[in-house]
């Protein structure tokens, strides 16, 4: 009787363990690529991965950037968070702050050895002794213009702030605006202002000790230059986000704009003449010799404590970064998402996309610009938790509004920014 019971128990145990082994690992991926064509391309990739990996099944649940900062922490608190979550650097600090992200050191090291990460794309995710996310795609701000408009006005592509202002003044005629720069209290304005700060020697907003170093002559000069250009922008640019700037460029109402990419709108809503679409590095201060820009690598965090799920997620991420798959991932939005790996930048699957092929020279320029990219709060090698709130509250853009909307001097606006950032950092 005893032997019989033991035998049954043993068999049950074996059956249960084999059943557990046979059960595929199910992973939920939250990303913020909401447009239907991006969701569709993601699904095509997931279907392919799931078919090739019956033991790991990944499903997507698209979210919105507008809600994710509130939704993700609430979901993790309720135990309903995803297993993988798209991120930008400041969002990672928020999720790390609630202890919901796990390091991906080994995977990052393996992928770097195999594919070679562009250093600027992974650096914002490496701090406190770990790598917190795997870079997925890069975005960098460039200056966009029409070659024909510049030729007609008899001007060269501006390389410095003074050249840019002179060009914008010449392009401002017949109801058109020489430049379209936003002044909204919103992330797009943070990005465009910071693009000028990078080019004015004011890239660092933190000191080594975590105190704020926003208020300095270089930042004031950057604000002054931005203010001069902004005066040549459409009057409603104080409420612009990315879409309005693209629309202004597509309708040829704006001569030059700063944007990650305009290829999609130019192709679908404007002339679609690849030879006429110009892209160049963001002009730099007159005293500088080289242009830089703001660049954002979007990354994927592992947000599950379950080791089996972590292993499954790593299989998926490794598969995604393979050049044959990675190019198709990037071209879910062709001409916008840039590669974060060296072999991804040469992948046939990327360059063979019809839009990327058509705008090859523009995409090459964007890739080159991205290599000189920086991101506010992630430039000193140390990352301070307050950057999440500083970015979330759009303090750079709010400071700019003090100058553009309230008529304060650049020095006072920057001083306001310094005080507000210091207040946030002190909490």
| Site of interaction with another protein (CB under 8 A) | 69-70, 73-74, 76-78, 94, 97-98, 175, 183-186, 234-239, 244, 247-248, 251, 253-254, 388-389, 392-394, 398, 401-402, 404-406, 424, 427
Half-sphere exposure of 224 (CA within 13 A, CB side): 12
Q: Which is nearer to another protein, 68 or 197 (CB)?
A: 68
Shortest reach from residue 181's CB to another protein, in Å: 13
Q: Which is nearer to another protein, 14 or 405 (CB)?
A: 405
Shortest reach from residue 70's CB to another protein, in Å: 4
Shortest reach from residue 44's CB to another protein, in Å: 29
How far is residue 256's CA from residue 274's CA, in Å, rounded to a whole number? Answer: 16
Shortest reach from residue 183's CB to another protein, in Å: 7
Q: Which is nearer to another protein, 51 or 427 (CB)?
A: 427
Tokens of 324: 């044959």
Q: Which is nearer to another protein, 208 or 423 (CB)?
A: 423
Is 300 strand, coil or helix? strand
Q: Apex CA 193: angle with CA 191 and CA 195, to 5°?
A: 65
How far is residue 263's CA from residue 359's CA, in Å, rounded to a whole number? Answer: 8
Q: Do β-strands 254-259 and 293-302 pair in parallel, antiparallel, or remain unpaired?
A: unpaired
Q: Do β-strands 293-302 and 84-87 pair in parallel, antiparallel, or remain unpaired?
A: antiparallel
Phi/psi region, residue 51 (left: phi>0; alpha: psi -120 to 50; beta: rest), is: alpha
**What are the start-end ranges of the E strands in 150-292?**
177-180, 254-259, 277-280
**What are the start-end ranges of the E strands in 228-313?**
254-259, 277-280, 293-302
Shortest reach from residue 304's CB to another protein, in Å: 16
Q: Measured in whole angstroms, how far is the alpha carbon of residue 84 from the centre of its chain?
A: 17
Q: Which is nearer to another protein, 79 or 154 (CB)?
A: 79
Q: Which is nearer to another protein, 121 or 237 (CB)?
A: 237
Shortest reach from residue 418's CB to another protein, in Å: 17
Q: Apex CA 114: angle with CA 108 and CA 116, to 5°?
A: 70
Shortest reach from residue 62's CB to another protein, in Å: 17
Q: Which is nearer to another protein, 234 or 312 (CB)?
A: 234
Shortest reach from residue 238's CB to another protein, in Å: 5
Whether residue 212 contacts residue 427, with contact meaning beta carbons closer than 8 Å, is answered with no
Query: Scanning the structure block, which residue is given the tokens 């991205």?
Result: 370
How far is residue 307's CA from residue 322's CA, in Å, rounded to a whole number? Answer: 23
Q: Which is nearer to another protein, 35 or 119 (CB)?
A: 35
Q: Which is nearer to another protein, 323 or 388 (CB)?
A: 388
How far is residue 28's CA from residue 83's CA, in Å, rounded to a whole number? Answer: 5
Q: Apex CA 406: angle with CA 219 and CA 177, to 5°?
A: 75
Shortest reach from residue 327's CB to another protein, in Å: 34
């Amino acid at each position: 009787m005893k032997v019989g019971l033991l035998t049954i128990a043993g068999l049950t145990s074996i059956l249960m363990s084999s059943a557990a082994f046979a059960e595929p690992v199910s992973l939920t991926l939250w990303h913020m690529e909401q447009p239907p064509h991006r969701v569709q391309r993601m699904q095509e990739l997931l279907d392919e991965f799931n078919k090739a990996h019956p033991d790991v099944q990944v499903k997507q649940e698209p979210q919105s950037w507008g809600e994710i900062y509130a939704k993700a922490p609430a979901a993790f608190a309720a135990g309903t968070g995803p297993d993988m979550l798209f991120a930008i650097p400041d969002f990672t600090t928020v999720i790390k702050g609630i202890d919901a992200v796990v390091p991906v050191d080994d995977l990052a090291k393996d992928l770097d050895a195999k594919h070679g990460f562009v250093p600027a794309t992974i650096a914002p995710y490496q701090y406190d002794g770990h790598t917190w996310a795997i870079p997925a795609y890069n975005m960098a701000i460039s200056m966009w213009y029409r070659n024909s408009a510049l030729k007609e006005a008899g001007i060269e592509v501006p390389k410095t702030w003074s050249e840019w202002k002179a060009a914008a003044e010449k392009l401002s005629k017949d109801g058109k605006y020489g430049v379209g720069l936003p002044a909204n209290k919103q992330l797009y304005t943070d990005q465009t202002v910071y693009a000028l700060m990078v080019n004015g020697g004011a890239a660092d907003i933190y000191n080594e000790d975590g105190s704020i170093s926003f208020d300095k002559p270089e930042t004031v000069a950057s604000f002054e230059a931005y203010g001069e250009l902004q005066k040549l922008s459409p009057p409603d640019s104080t409420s612009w986000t990315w879409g309005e700037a693209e629309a202004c460029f597509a309708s040829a109402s704006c001569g030059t704009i700063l944007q990650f990419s305009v290829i999609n709108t130019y192709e679908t809503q404007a002339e679609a003449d690849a030879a006429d679409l110009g892209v160049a590095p963001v002009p730099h201060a007159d005293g500088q010799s080289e242009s830089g820009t703001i660049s954002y690598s979007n990354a994927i965090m592992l947000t599950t404590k379950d080791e089996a799920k972590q292993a499954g997620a790593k299989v998926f991420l490794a598969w995604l970064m393979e050049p044959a798959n990675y190019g198709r991932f990037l071209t879910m939005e062709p001409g916008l998402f840039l590669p974060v790996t060296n072999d991804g930048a040469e992948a046939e699957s990327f360059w063979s996309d019809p839009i990327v092929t058509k705008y090859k020279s523009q995409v090459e320029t964007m890739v080159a610009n991205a290599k000189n990219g920086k991101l506010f709060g992630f430039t000193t090698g140390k990352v301070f938790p307050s950057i999440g709130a500083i970015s979330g509250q759009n303090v750079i853009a709010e400071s700019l509004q003090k100058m553009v909307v309230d008529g304060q001097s650049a020095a006072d606006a920057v001083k306001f920014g310094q005080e507000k950032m210091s207040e946030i950092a002190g909490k």
